[in-house]
Amino acid sequence: MNIAILGGTGDEGLGLAMRFALAGDQILIGSRSQERAEQAAQTVRDTVPSAAVSGRANEDAAASADIVILSVPYGGQRATLESLATILQGKTLISVVVPLQFGKGGPHAVRVAEGSAAEEARAILPDVAIASAFHNLSATKLMDVQSDLDCDVVVCSDDAAAKRLTMELAETMRGVRALDGGALAYSRYVEDLTALILAMNRRYKAHASVRFTNLTVPEVAPIDGQRS
Amino acid sequence: MNIAILGGTGDEGLGLAMRFALAGDQILIGSRSQERAEQAAQTVRDTVPSAAVSGRANEDAAASADIVILSVPYGGQRATLESLATILQGKTLISVVVPLQFGKGGPHAVRVAEGSAAEEARAILPDVAIASAFHNLSATKLMDVQSDLDCDVVVCSDDAAAKRLTMELAETMRGVRALDGGALAYSRYVEDLTALILAMNRRYKAHASVRFTNLTVPEVAPIDGQRS
């Protein structure tokens, strides 16, 4: 699949690019600066020599992709989405955005009027199929491509096809189990959990992620959440 | 230790009572009705024959305990704490309260003005040492005392002694690892996560809990969070 990663020059975006490239997907790293996007693509190739990856300006990356992963800082989400509104029609958008603020009390989640960053994205682009996922993955662990990950990826969406596609994409990463987190309104719990994880990472000098125990996924996973 | 469990007649409180009784603690189950508290104590004895447990009215249970666990529905928190304000002075209060609402879209976290149920409790009782913990444990798994649990318990507090005591208490349960979740301001991420877990429990017919992966606890766990 052709996957654009907007904000792909940040650590989280780079790590996702490496993992998806490893799984054989065609990756387009998007940035406001084409030059920085090309540098990021080279970083991916340095780590994953087999990677099919190129760097583009955000709009070019999004235009050429079937799946667009949004991995920009929360503060840049609105401007990025508004500038790409026409290009994103008909594509699947996967939000990795976590609304965080870093104060003297440590990292904390910002309260979003729409409920979550993902629901704010939907309010900006009401006709685009949106899922949210990959919030709780450690960038460090993602970029350590020799090691399997050890985590669940909770996927939230109101669009059944987008949810299924995102869960399938998550499970192409070694060591990842995809879980149906329900409607996009559940995204805030997954987004906000990132603040706790980042604070514990500092305390325990860790790169933590999360697993849900006592939860077995049936052979054919149930997917709910029709577009409402 | 003498542990009072207020709201100990609900499933979560009963499950905690069974696990702590199993660990050898003296349990006082509190309820607004002494009769229902005594019935709950009998239920604990039926499951854990060695249990040192008795049922009391809430105020009698709290008065006789060193540690008071608050396991009432969020809607009953304020009235319960206000009525026990004098009795709770000098004790350690552990909040298990999760502010939940159940609508047609499934269980969701209620936004609390103070940030979390635990911070609201502190606003009501500013001079009581408060920790929050045990939110993400399945009542069903707690009551299945033959089986070890398989989860982490994240403890949040601004009081170092209350945090340490609560972490030690958590680790008396077989299969539990206690984690320092930081200040009480981090409680909302742990409380709110319960909504996601309950929704996934319905979807996957599970009794899920949570583990943080890629996080190792040193032999002597670092505890931060002095009373500020």
Note the pLDDT of residue B224. 58
What's the rounded Cα separation, in Å, for the pair A71 and B215? 24
Tokens of A21: 């490239």
Note the pLDDT of residue A218. 86
What's the rounded Cα separation, in Å, for the pair B212 and B199? 20
Would you say residue A227 has pLDDT above 50? no
CA–CA distances in Å: residue A171 to residues A66, A149, B33, B100: 18, 11, 51, 31
% pLDDT > 70, chain B: 96
What's the rounded Cα separation, in Å, for the pair B10 and B73? 9
Indicate the pTM of the whole model: 0.94
Residues in chain B within 8 Å Cβ distance of A213: 150-151, 208-211
Phi, psi of A90 (to 5 degrees): 85, -5
- Range A24-57 burial, b when 16+ CB lie within 10 A, else e: ebbbbbbbbebeebbebbebbbebbeebebbbbb
CA–CA distances in Å: residue A15 to residues A44, A48, A56, A146, B107: 8, 11, 17, 12, 33
Q: For chain B, state the CA radius of gyration.
A: 16
Return the beta strands (E) in B50-204 as ranges. Answer: 52-57, 67-70, 92-95, 100-103, 106-109, 129-132, 151-157, 176-182
**A189: alpha, beta or left, given left = phi > 0 and alpha = psi -120 to 50?**
alpha
Measure CB to CB from residue A213 to each of B106, B201, B208 and give the nearest one.
Answer: B208
- From A193, A97, A212, A197, select the one nearest A152 (Cα to Cα): A212
Three-state DSSP class for B177?
strand
Residues 6+ apart with CB under 8 A from B136: B151, B153, B154, B190, B193, B194, B197, B209, B210
Element (H, E) at A224: none
- Range A195-205 burial, b when 16+ CB lie within 10 A, else e: bbbbbbbebbe
Kindly determine whether residue B150 and residue A214, on different chains, have CB atoms separated by under 8 Å. Answer: yes
Check if the beta carbon of residue A23 is closer than 8 Å to that of residue A16: no
Calculate how close chain B gets to A149, using CA atoms only, in Å: 9
Q: Per-residue pLDDT averaged across B20-35, rounded? A: 96
Least confident of A143-152, B202-211, B217-226: B217-226
What DSSP letter does each residue of B30-72 carry, written as one string?
A: EESSHHHHHHHHHHHHHH-TT-EEEEEEHHHHHHT-SEEEE-S
pLDDT tens per residue across span A70-114: 999 999 999 999 999 999 999 999 999 999 999 989 999 999 999
Tokens of A218: 């049936």
Note the pLDDT of residue B223. 58
pLDDT tens per residue across span B146-201: 999 999 999 999 999 999 999 999 999 999 999 999 999 999 999 999 999 999 99
Kindly determine whether residue B181 and residue A196, on different chains, have CB atoms separated by under 8 Å. Answer: yes
Q: What is the ipTM of this complex?
A: 0.94
Three-state DSSP class for B106?
strand
* Residue of A154, A203, A216 to mutate for B, most B C-beta atoms under 10 A: A203
Please report how the helices B34-47 and B11-22 are oriented relative to each other, as an axis angle in degrees rounded to 10: 50
Kindly determine whether residue A212 and residue B216, on different chains, have CB atoms separated by under 8 Å. Answer: no
B214 touches chain A (CB under 8 A): yes
Would you say residue A64 has pLDDT above 80? yes
A212 touches chain B (CB under 8 A): yes
Would you say residue A224 has pLDDT above 90? no
Kindly determine whether residue B213 and residue A151, on different chains, have CB atoms separated by under 8 Å. Answer: yes
Note the pLDDT of residue B226. 45
The mean pLDDT value of chain A amounts to 95
Least confident of B53-57, B69-73, B144-148, B220-224: B220-224
- In this structure, what DSSP letter does residue B3 have? E
Helix, strand, coil % in chain B, rounded to nearest 5:
40, 25, 35
Note the pLDDT of residue B131. 98
Return the number of CB contacts < 8 Å for A and B. 133
Please name the residue of chain A whose CA is at the shortest distance from the CA of residue B191.
Answer: A189
What DSSP letter does each residue of A128-166 carry, written as one string?
A: SEEEE--TT--HHHHH-TTSPP-EEEEEEES-HHHHHHH
Calculate how close chain A gets to B227, using CA atoms only, in Å: 13
B193 touches chain A (CB under 8 A): yes
B189 touches chain A (CB under 8 A): yes
Kindly determine whether residue B185 and residue A105, on different chains, have CB atoms separated by under 8 Å. Answer: yes
Residues in chain B within 8 Å Cβ distance of A203: 180, 182, 222, 224
- From A66, A143, A26, A137, select the one nearest B212 (Cα to Cα): A137
Kindly determine whether residue A208 and residue B213, on different chains, have CB atoms separated by under 8 Å. Answer: yes
Would you say residue B88 has pLDDT above 90? yes
Q: Per-residue pLDDT averaged across A32-54, rounded? A: 96
